Amino acid sequence: IYDYRAICDIVSGVGVEIRRTPEQDVYIDPRHISSGELDLQKTSTFRASYYFVGSLLAKQRKVKIGYPGGDNFVSRPIDQHIKVWKAFGAEVVLKENYYEVSADKLSGADVYFDMITSGATINALLVAALAQGKTTLRNTAKDPEVVDAANFLNQMGAKISGAGTDTIRIQGVDHLGGCTYRAIPDRLIAGAFFMAAGITGGSITVEEIIPEHLETTIMKLQEIGMEFDVQDTKIISYGDVNLRATRVRTGMYPSFATDLQQPLTPLLLKAQGRSIITEKVFPQRFAHVEQLQRMGANIEIKGSSAFIQGGSPLIGTLVHASDVRAGTALILAGLMAEGKTYITGVEHIERGYENLVASFSSLGAKIMMNVDDDLLELQNEQMCLIKNV
C-alpha cells in the first residue's frame, strides 16, 4: 500500500527505526526521534498525514508538516483537527505550503465535534493520551477504526474509555510504552469483494474478517438480491443475475459507508430499475460517474444524489481513476463491461489497497498492470487493462 510505505519513509526521516517483515509485521522504535519537522513534499502526498501532529506534538512540542494530499474528489478541510489541537493548548500557524503546530504544554480539554469525523476523533485520542488531566470528547465517530486506535493506545498504557460511543473520556498519562498489536481487518476491501461477487454472479469468500463491522453493507446487498453465509471470521458472498434496484443513503458508521458508495454504483447498474444513492458525507463524491458514463452508464447527478438506471450493458473504453474508491468502481465496472477497459490513474488504487489487481486476478479476472497500447498513444503512463472474461 503506497500510503503505508510513505508513512514508513516519512518517520524514518526523523529518526524512527522501521523494520518490515515479509509477513507484514512492522517493528517501530521511536526512541531516537530527532525532530518534528517532517518532509513537506512527502507529507503532502497522502490524506492521513495530519496524524503525525497528534503523534509527535507531546514529545517534540512543535510539528511542521505539509498540507494533506491524497484523494482529490472533494476539498476536505482539516478544521476539526485544528479545533482539536487548539483545544489542548496548541498554537496553529497556517502557511502557504505547510502548517506548524506548537505547544509548550498540552492540557486535557472538553471537545465537541461540529461534525462526526473519524479522522479528527483519532487525532484527538493521540493528543489526549499524553495531555495533562482529563479530556472528554463528544459527538465522536463510532467507526471500528476509532475503537481499534483506542484499544491500541490502551495497550500502550493510555487510559481511554467509551470508544465506539458518542462520548469518549481520556485520562492523560505521562508516557506510553511499546506493545505488540494486531490491527483489525479492512472492512472496505471486503465490501468491494462482495460487490464483485454481485457483479459477476459468482461467489467470493473473504476470510479473517469481523462480520459485525459489515452488517450494514451486508443488509443492503441482501436487499438487492445477494446472499451471504456469515461465519465467525469468514463471509461467503453469492451474486445473483436478477438484482433489484434500491435506495442508499451514506453516513457515518454504522450507516452505509461513503467509501463503499462508489464501488456500489457499478453493481446497481446491473440491477433492474432505478436506484438512488444519496451522499451525505461528501456530497460531491461523484467523480467516478462521468467515467462510468463514458462506458455507457445511464446515471444522472442531481445535487448530492445519483440516479442510476440499471439494466444497460457497459462498453469497455479508456477511463481515469481520480481517487482510491473511484478506481475500485472502475475495476468493478470493467468486470461487467463488454470488451477491454483501460484505466489510468492506477497509482490512486495502489494508495489504498494491497495487491488489489493480484487479488482480482486470483479470482479469474483478466487484469494486467502497466499495459502499453500504441493505439491509445499514452506513452509512459501507468495503466491497468481489464479484459472481461
Predicted confidence (pLDDT) per residue in 230-281, tens digit = 999 999 999 988 999 999 999 999 999 999 999 999 999 999 999 999 999 9
- One-letter amino acid identity for 18? I
Does residue 150 sit in the same domain as residue 202?
Answer: no
* Residue 57 resides in a domain: yes
Tell me, yes or no, whether 178 lies in a domain. Answer: no
Residue 380 confidence (pLDDT) above 50: no
User: Where among 171, 206, 230 does a domain terminate?
Assistant: 171
DSSP string computed for 154-199: HHTT-EEE-BTBSEEEEE--S--------PPP-HHHHHHHHHHHHH
Q: Identify whether 182 is part of a domain.
A: no
Q: Which residue has the cell 468486470?
A: 335
Residues 149 and 261 grouped into a single domain: no
Domain annotation covers residue 276: yes
Q: Counting Cβ atoms within 10 Å, is residue 309 exposed (0-12), middle (13-18) or buried (19+)? A: middle
How many domains, the chain? 2
What is the Cα–Cα distance from 133 to 109, expressed in whole angstroms?
Answer: 8
CB 201 within 8 A of CB 240: yes
Indicate whether 192 pLDDT > 90: yes
Looking at residue 76, its pLDDT comes to 62
Same domain, 112 and 248: no
Query: 277 is in which domain, residue-wise?
Result: 187-387
What pLDDT was estimated at residue 71? 55
pLDDT band at residue 371 using 50, 70 and 90 as cut-offs: low
pLDDT of res. 362: 84
Q: In whole angstroms, give the CA distance from residue 196 to residue 237.
A: 9
pLDDT tens track for 50-65: 999 999 999 999 999 9
Of 350, 238, 333, 340, the residue nearest 289 (C-alpha): 333
Residue 300 in 3-state DSSP? strand
Q: Is residue 177 part of a domain?
A: no
In a shared domain, residues 287 and 142: no
Domain match, 202 and 305 both? yes
Residue type, 39: D
Q: Which of 122, 142, 171 is the last residue of a domain?
A: 171
pLDDT score, position 383 = 47
pLDDT mean over 335-349: 87
Put residue 380 in one of left, alpha, beta given phi > 0 → left and psi -120 to 50 → alpha.
left
| Domain end call among 171, 198, 221 | 171
Residues 42 and 153 in one domain: yes
198, pLDDT greater than 60: yes
Q: What is the DSSP letter of 231?
A: -
Same domain, 376 and 275: yes
Is residue 45 pLDDT above 90, yes or no? no
Angle between helices 261-270 and 324-336 (to 10 degrees): 20
Which of 26, 59, 65 has its CA nearest to residue 47?
65
Considering the domain boundaries, does residue 311 fall inside one?
yes
Is the pLDDT at 384 greater than 80? The verdict is: no
Q: How confident is the model at residue 149, as a pLDDT?
A: 99
Q: What is the CATH number of the domain that holds 259?
A: 3.65.10.10
Cell numbers describing residue 235: 463471509
Is the pLDDT confidence value at 373 over 70? no
Element (H, E) at 348: helix 346-352
How many helical (H) and strand (E) elements, i.e. helices and strands, does the chain have? Answer: 13, 20
Please tell me whether the overall predicted TM-score, pTM, comes out greater than 0.85 for this model. yes
